[in-house]
Amino acid sequence: MTVKHLSVEYNKVNERGTFSPGDIIFGRVTVVTSKETKVQCFLVRAKGKAEVTWCEQEGQTTVVHRDKKKYFYFEHIILQDKKKGDGSEIIGPGRNVYPFTFEIPNTDMPSSYEGKWGKITYNLRAKLTQSIWLVYKTKTEFPFLTKSDFPFASKSEMIIVGLKEQQCATRISFFGSGKVTMNVTSEKMGVKQGEAVGVSVEVLNDSVRIVTPKFYLCEKQTFVAKSKRTVHTNDILFGTGDSVPAQTSRTITKVLSIPPQLPLTFFNCCMMKLEYRLKVTLDVPLARDPEIKLPLVILLGSPKPHQQKPKRSIWFRKLPG
């Protein structure tokens, strides 16, 4: 094995470390060889794609639902044996670096995302083929950020009304011991990553039970494969408010901080979408807990450097024997 190391890297184009439609990727493939090496083909590829996969039990049969969509695919040949005999397919001994560039199409594409049953990825792959039995591969993913201001809106909508408006909802629940009224108010529907939003719940407890409000961030992931659809939900507990004794009323306010790395709300992918809700429940002993959900749209926050995953550099070692 004369090829000892193979890696593919790229240069950042902004503070976030992300790429968007229309950007140019400047990168390089590095290969280290122990001696002069002849190759059949040496190339680098850039690809953007979305894919979903999940299983369902239908009677005694397990059915796999799968679909994928390719956003772009480019290939650049670094070296290729065309039987010319001019030495163009030869890699010299030591460290060799081959630069390349790819221009990302300037079209609407969803941001990088990984959910329960699907993911949207953008990556670079290098492949060096010496023979049908000797092939070396390496890859690295690059973070992609959509240019769409409203990836959660339909294409017919130019703006979203109400992102900065206050939201309110009321629920009245009846128990054998009386009724409980819950009024929930949030400062706004659109919240940026890393931002805080105030949520208030007014509880009028006309029952003989003690009730306790709880605050949640609800995540809803929807996946579609052809005509099939599945949903994955997850509730993140933000906190618990003060209890409201029987026959009293109280207003509890919580300031909820949105995690800075929380994925953005999006709808601009035909196979998956991501939505959020603010949920407030009342913990009522020996009864079904009443709840109120308010829509929440997670918007892009202030720039933060992207924590790049370690690049997949591969060192090859000759096996004994």
Provide the number of structural domains found in the chain: 2
pLDDT of the chain, 321 residues: tens digit per residue = 789 999 999 999 998 899 999 999 999 999 999 999 889 999 999 999 999 999 998 888 999 999 999 999 999 999 988 775 555 688 999 999 999 999 999 999 999 999 999 999 999 999 999 888 899 999 999 999 998 766 766 543 444 556 888 889 999 998 877 899 999 999 998 999 999 999 999 999 999 989 999 999 999 999 999 889 999 999 988 889 999 999 999 999 999 999 999 999 999 999 999 999 999 999 988 788 899 999 999 998 876 555 555 455 555 554 444
One domain for residues 31 and 113 = yes
One domain for residues 123 and 18 = yes
CB contact set of 227 (below 8 Å; sequence gap of 6+): none
- Tokens matching residue 186: 């949030």
In a domain, 161, yes or no: no
Which segments within the chain are labelled E, that is strand? 3-10, 24-33, 37-38, 41-58, 61-80, 90-91, 94-103, 113-114, 118-131, 134-141, 167-175, 178-186, 190-192, 196-205, 212-225, 228-240, 248-257, 272-283, 291-299, 314-315
One domain for residues 101 and 202 = no
Owning domain of residue 174: 167-299
- Which residues sit opposite 218 in a β-bridge? 235, 277
- Which residues sit opposite 107 in a β-bridge? none
First-to-final CA distance of the chain: 13
- Tokens matching residue 73: 């695919």
One domain for residues 80 and 201 = no
The CATH number of whichever domain residue 195 belongs to comes to 2.60.40.640
pTM: 0.85
